[in-house]
């Protein structure tokens, strides 16, 4: 039924119709609605049909992961040269209910929230309301006198965390490029991770204001500006955005990003039963992600700029399209050319004075801009081996991954909910996308 409806729709538009950057995702929304109204719980495999074998291996790999019980389902959306070339739903959104995966399925983005929050901050810089070199303490006074925790040994031989004054203030630039010294409670030395754990960052009810103040009360894991280390920097950045804009993080992002882009399925809190039913769930035995999701859902007041958004594949592809088009889409500019260049240029390479912590860094062929990994080299052999120089990407602890490749005029988004085995799924996704491009 869906196939005949789509054929009629496309023939009615004219056989020679082509969908440019401004129109192709709205068409995907139309097609998705038609499919949802039909009796076929599938996505459209592209309005521009690929060759029969072009994405065959990608399709088989995801089906195999489902058969193996690694994931219950996924959505992969690939666009190239102004056309959606692959848009496919796999499996079910929830193994417990066996509800089929559909285009409107919602996924917890976790760290794929970070690029969106980083764009929001750069918008305020474009507005002249924020500067990369502003000290964070200008907006959150609790960061005025930070200390750095250094592992040391006491006279009695016991290890302790020696506190030293920070050499300089943490800046907005540090938050954007993860050089603030702020870490996660599971990254760093045993003494630092213990300090984070003992602080009970996630106790009780809290919002961005209280969470940022809790972070400010902890020692930094390194001197500001000296080490790329993944952590709560983007959560603190979310609070800065609130202070500067006078709005909640979601209100600001909705006004400046989500509403103009038409990404109306993206939010921090799922409030209705209908939307909760649309949420994808990890496999029943995926305890890592299930525990993480319980913790996220337990704090609905916290709009985590580093990991709190929920979205659909189509919404994230729309955001990615804006990035692919250098901060502009449908005639509306979201980022100035200067801000776009800063975001997509390696900020931690030679001459930056920044060392690299390999925990959660995506590969030696990559650098890091503001919110994105930036591919610098295709000659490295360590993962990920595939990709073109200038490609932007990031992955999520909950499974989703995306690629924005200007050289191939490509956007690729994978939505899935998987915890401990996410690495193999994310790597397979990127590898198979680029293998398909070579066919």
Averaging pLDDT over each range in 225-234, 371-380, 387-396, which range is the top one? 225-234
Work out the average pLDDT over 276-303. 94
Computed on alpha carbons and rounded to an integer, the radius of gyration of the chain in Å comes to 22
Query: Confidence band (pLDDT; 50, 70, 90) for 385?
Result: low
- For 161-168, which contacts have Cβ atoms below 8 Å and span 24 or more sequence positions? 161/191, 161/192, 161/195, 161/219, 163/219, 166/220, 166/223, 166/224, 167/223, 167/224, 168/223, 168/224, 168/225
Look at residue 382 in the predicted model and tell me its pLDDT: 53
Partnered with residue 332 across adjacent β-strands are 329
Whether residue 22 is predicted with pLDDT greater than 50 in this model: the reply is no
Q: Which residue has the higher pLDDT, 3 or 326?
A: 326
CA–CA distance, 426 with 422 (Å, rounded to integer): 6
* pLDDT tops 80 at residue 154: yes
Is the peptide bond between 198 and the residue preceding it cis, with omega within 30 degrees of 0? no
Q: How confident is the model at residue 17 (pLDDT cuts 50, 70, 90)?
A: very low
The pLDDT of residue 58 is above 90: yes
Q: Is a pLDDT exceeding 80 seen at residue 270?
A: yes
Percentage of residues in the chain with pLDDT exceeding 70? 86
Q: What is the pLDDT of residues 341-361, one digit of tens each?
A: 999 999 999 999 999 998 888
What number of residues does the chain have? 439
Indicate if the pLDDT at residue 6 is higher than 50.
no
- Using 50, 70 and 90 to split pLDDT, how confident is the model at 388? confident
- Using DSSP bridges, classify how beta strands 392-395 and 73-80 pair: parallel, antiparallel or unpaired: unpaired
Weakest-pLDDT range from 41-55, 308-322, 422-436: 41-55
User: Which 8-state DSSP code applies to residue 341?
Assistant: H
For residue 267, how far is the Cα from the chain centroid? Answer: 13
> What is the predicted pLDDT for the residue at 361?
86
Residue 12 confidence (pLDDT) above 90: no
Which of 1-5, 13-17, 190-194 tops mean pLDDT? 190-194
- What pLDDT, on a 0 to 100 scale, did the predictor assign at position 380? 60
pLDDT for the residue 31? 44
Phi/psi region, residue 225 (left: phi>0; alpha: psi -120 to 50; beta: rest), is: left
Average pLDDT over residues 176-200: 97
Predicted pLDDT at 82: 75
310 against 436, higher pLDDT:
310
Does 25 have pLDDT greater than 80?
no
pLDDT by residue (tens digit) across 391-404?
A: 999 999 999 999 99
């Amino acid at each position: 039924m869906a196939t005949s409806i789509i054929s009629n729709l496309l023939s009615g538009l004219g056989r020679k119709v082509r969908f440019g950057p401004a129109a192709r995702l709205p068409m995907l929304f139309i097609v998705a609605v038609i499919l949802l109204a039909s009796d076929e719980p599938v996505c459209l495999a592209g309005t521009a049909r690929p060759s029969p074998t072009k994405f065959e291996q990608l399709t088989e790999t995801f089906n195999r992961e489902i058969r193996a019980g690694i994931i219950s389902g996924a959505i992969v959306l690939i666009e190239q040269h102004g056309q959606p070339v692959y848009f496919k739903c796999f499996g079910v959104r929830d193994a417990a209910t066996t509800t089929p995966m559909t285009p409107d399925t919602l996924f917890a983005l976790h760290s794929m929230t970070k690029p969106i929050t980083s764009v929001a901050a750069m918008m305020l810089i474009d507005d002249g309301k924020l500067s990369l070199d502003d000290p964070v303490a200008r907006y959150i006074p609790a960061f005025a006198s930070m200390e750095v925790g250094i592992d040391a040994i006491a006279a009695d031989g016991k290890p302790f965390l020696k506190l030293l004054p920070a050499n300089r203030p943490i800046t907005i630039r540090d938050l954007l490029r993860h050089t603030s010294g702020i870490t996660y409670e599971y990254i760093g030395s045993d003494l630092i991770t213990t300090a984070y754990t003992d602080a009970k960052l996630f106790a009780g009810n809290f919002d961005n204001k209280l969470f940022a103040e809790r972070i400010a009360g902890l020692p930094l894991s390194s001197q500001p500006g000296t080490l790329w280390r993944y952590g709560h920097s983007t959560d603190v950045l979310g609070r800065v955005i609130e202070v500067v804009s006078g709005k909640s993080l979601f209100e600001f992002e909705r006004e400046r990003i989500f509403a103009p882009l038409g990404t109306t399925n993206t939010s921090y809190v799922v409030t209705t039963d209908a939307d909760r039913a649309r949420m994808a769930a990890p496999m029943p035995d995926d305890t890592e992600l299930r525990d993480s999701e319980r913790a996220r859902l337990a704090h609905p007041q916290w709009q985590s700029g580093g990991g709190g958004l929920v979205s659909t594949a189509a919404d994230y592809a729309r955001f990615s399209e804006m990035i692919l088009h250098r901060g502009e889409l449908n005639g509306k500019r979201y980022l100035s050319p200067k801000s776009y260049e800063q975001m997509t240029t390696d900020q931690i390479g030679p001459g930056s004075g920044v060392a690299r912590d390999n925990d959660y860094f995506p590969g030696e062929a990559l650098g890091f801009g503001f919110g994105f990994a930036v591919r610098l080299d295709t000659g490295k052999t360590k993962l990920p081996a595939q990709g073109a120089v200038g490609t932007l990407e990031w992955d999520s602890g909950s499974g989703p991954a995306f690629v924005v490749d200007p050289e191939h005029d490509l956007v690729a988004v994978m939505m899935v909910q998987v915890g401990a085995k996410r690495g193999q799924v994310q790597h397979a996704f990127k590898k198979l996308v680029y293998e398909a491009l070579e066919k």
